[in-house]
Structure 1
Amino acid sequence: MAKVKYYYDSENLAYRKIITKTRKKIGVVLLFLVASALFGFLSFVILLNTPYFETPKNRLQAREIENLKLRYAILNKKMDEVDNVIELIEERDNNLYRVYFNASPIPEEERKSGFKDADRYKDLEGYDNSQLVANTTKRIDKLRKELSIQSKSLDDILKMAEAKDKLLSAIPAIQPVRNENLKNMASGFGYRTDPFTKARKMHEGMDFTAKTGTPIYATGDGIVARADNTASGYGNHIVIRHGYGYETLYAHLSRYKCRAGQRINRGDVIGYVGSTGRSEAPHLHYEVHKNGKVVNPLNFYYGNISAVEYVAIAQLANQENQSYD
């Protein structure tokens, strides 16, 4: 039963009954219902955006986000390991490989420069975990650039190694005739007595005595430039161009075992000892030229003699005796 309400009428000094109009009652009820509905909707929205009220979809998304964060953390840890390996390779590259081949080291700022494009990672901004994703992407790009630089450096080193192998093979590094007991060394490089004029003159090679027909060996890899007897005084002779500015000459041969244009390897038999041309007796006259200038062949026998043998042959070569041509 609804309560009856009264009000005091001061003019008539009496209490009178309050009579509420039906329209007003309906309005109050409607206002209450609208207010209740609005309050309920706002409360629902607030609850949806709090951790205390999650839908199954929200819980699934939250688990996926945490899983992605964990994977990014593992990825960054693996990148730390890759970074350490790359640093070790870079250190060996700069301080070992490039030093060996006399190449300049790659500056640290060039290796670690990364990318300077400010807008490169702009599309990763504006998300809840933008910083995590952007930082990881930057690290990956930096590692990719470092690996690219290192890969190019190793390609350069491989080319230098191949060139060095060719250089080492081309340098005249052995004696042109077998000389195990060092008795075949007859005359060295320098001023010697001419066997025909008896005057002192420059002897631009080394003479090795040997029987006619003794094999003569190429002292380095190269191409036969000539094998003929057209040069005055040398008789039958061979010239090999080794590249890198090196040439060798083998004179007074009895016969050839190569021809002009033929590619020769160190140790190949190219001819045989004789006494053709301006020669006093069977022997090989051997010369080494570097960049067009004649040099002492004694400096190039490191390929097949020991240090003790080198000293012994040097003493024989430095004797100012008579040459054989």
Structure 2
Amino acid sequence: MSKVKYYYDSETLSYRKIERKKGRRLGYAFIAIAGSFLAGFVLLLIYLNLPQIETPKEKALKRELQHMKLQYELLNKEMNQAQKVLSNVQTRDNTIYRVYFEANPIPDEQRKAGFGGINRYQALEGYDNSDLIIETSKKMDVLQKRIVVQSKSLDEIARLAKEKEKLLTAIPAIQPVKNENLTRMASGYGMRMHPILKYRRMHNGMDFSAPTGSDVYATGDAVVKKATRGTGFGNLIVLDHGFGYETYYAHLSDFKVRRGDKVKRGEIIGEVGSTGLSTAPHLHYEVHKNGQVVNPINFYHGDLTAEEYDIMLNQSALENQSLD
């Protein structure tokens, strides 16, 4: 409550109350408001120019920002490590897996290609930490693309491996007559004297002497292309192994398969005989690759020891008379 002031009036010889003027009251009020505003403005300027003074919310945001920067740095380190691991996988893919399966290596330009066209990172520009965020985003995009390329390569390797597995089971790899049934390896591949025609001509296969009725085995997985009776080869079976390989089994006494049958390596397909132009019971065996006759001596790795192979190799090299 404000104090009431009085003055002495000499004319009336009494005290009179001093009345304040309304204008002066408004002036005092204005001065008080202006002073308060000025003081607040000065304090605001001081606050804005003292960075060590932070509100709780600003402190929380600052801590969150520092945490995010740390997370980005850790993410960059993890991506760098992932890129090293991926590079190792890519090297093995090019120099081992693709070489083994006869596939062309994937060039580095294709594995590490960037992204053309518009600026993919424009939305990330204009911030205090834009460089860090953009660099991390670029690394992630490149890493993802390299993983996609590598994934497709491994899919191709898996497909080639399946084809390789089929090739390994299909390619001729064993003797068509077992050793216990084999009298001798009568004649090899090359120029030989024909026993009936009595002149030297190309002998396109190998002759395995064995008793009539001895089992004849498919030398690889195949489909029976022919099972026919003729004059020169006599009773003949032709197996189509795929991948360009065919095998011929001639002078048979009997068939155990028919045209169109699927056979596995080691499956009995016929019996040794002496049909057609033949002078004694034996199996005439040929291997064809892409329509060309090749030496069967190169296709016995599946069941012969090194010593047995050397013996057969020496016998096949002798220029003796063939049995057909």
Instruction: Return the alpha-carbon distance in structure 1 between the equivalents of residues 101 and 129 of structure 2.
Output: 47
- RMSD, matched Cα: 2.6
2:242 aligns with 243
Return closer, same or farther for 1:135/1:42 CA change in 2, 3 Å cut-off: farther
Counterpart secondary structure, 1:225: strand
Report the Cα offset of residue 180 of structure 1.
5.9
Q: Where does residue 303 of structure 2 map in the other structure?
A: 304
Alignment of 1:1-325 (within 5 A): 30=30, 33-34=33-34, 37-38=37-38, 40-41=40-41, 43-44=43-44, 47-48=47-48, 50-179=50-179, 183-229=183-229, 231-325=230-324
Deviations 1:8-34 (A, max 9, x none): xxxxxxxxxxxxxx9899779847854
Q: How many pairs were matched up?
A: 304
Task: Report the identity percentage.
Answer: 53
- Partner Cα separation in structure 1 for residue 225 and residue 315 of structure 2: 31
| TM-score, normalising length: structure 1 | 0.85
After TM superposition, which residue ranges in structure 1, 4 or more long, deviate above 4 angstroms? 22-33, 180-183
Instruction: Give TM-score, length-normalised by structure 2.
Output: 0.85
Runs (5+) with no aligned partner, structure 2 = 1-21
| Structure 1: unaligned runs, 5 residues or longer | 1-21
Structure-2 change in CA distance of 1:27 and 1:298 (3 Å): same
- The CA deviation at 1:270 is 0.8
How has the CA–CA distance of structure 1 residues 226 and 45 changed in structure 2, closer, same or farther, with 3 Å as cutoff? farther
C-alpha separation in 2, matches of 1:173 and 1:50: 88
Alignment CA distance shift 1:25-1:128 (3 Å): same
Q: What is the rounded CA distance, in whole Å, between the counterparts of 2:88 and 2:109 in structure 1?
A: 16
CA contact (8 A) 2:225 2:259 kept: yes
Counterparts in 2 of 1:68 and 1:45: CA distance versus 1, 3 Å: farther
The residue matched to 1:294 in structure 2 has which SS?
strand
Distance apart, 1:232 and its partner CA: 2.8
- Cα distance change, pair 50–220 in 1 and its aligned pair in 2 (3 A): farther
Matched-pair contact (CA < 8 Å) for 1:247–1:290:
yes
CA 1:233–1:61 in 2, change beyond 3 Å: closer, same or farther?
Answer: same
**Letter aligned with residue 104 of structure 1:** N
CA contact (8 A) 2:181 2:214 kept: no
Amino acid at match of 2:106: I
Which shows bigger deviation, 295-304 or 29-38?
A: 29-38
The answer as to whether partners of 1:182 and 1:313 remain within 8 angstroms in 2 is no
Cα distance in 2, alignment partners of residues 156 and 113 from structure 1: 20
SS of residue in 2 equivalent to 1:208? strand
Please say which of residues 52-61 and 86-95 is displaced more in the overlay: 52-61
**Cα distance, 1:49 vs structure 2:** 7.0
CA distance in 2, matches of 1:163, 1:156: 11
With over 3 angstroms needed to count, the CA separation of the structure-2 counterparts of 1:59 and 1:282, relative to structure 1, is same
The amino acid of 1:244's aligned partner reads F
Could you tell me whether the CA contact under 8 Å between 2:196 and 2:277 is conserved in 1?
no
Is the CA contact 1:248–1:288 (under 8 Å) kept in the aligned structure 2? yes
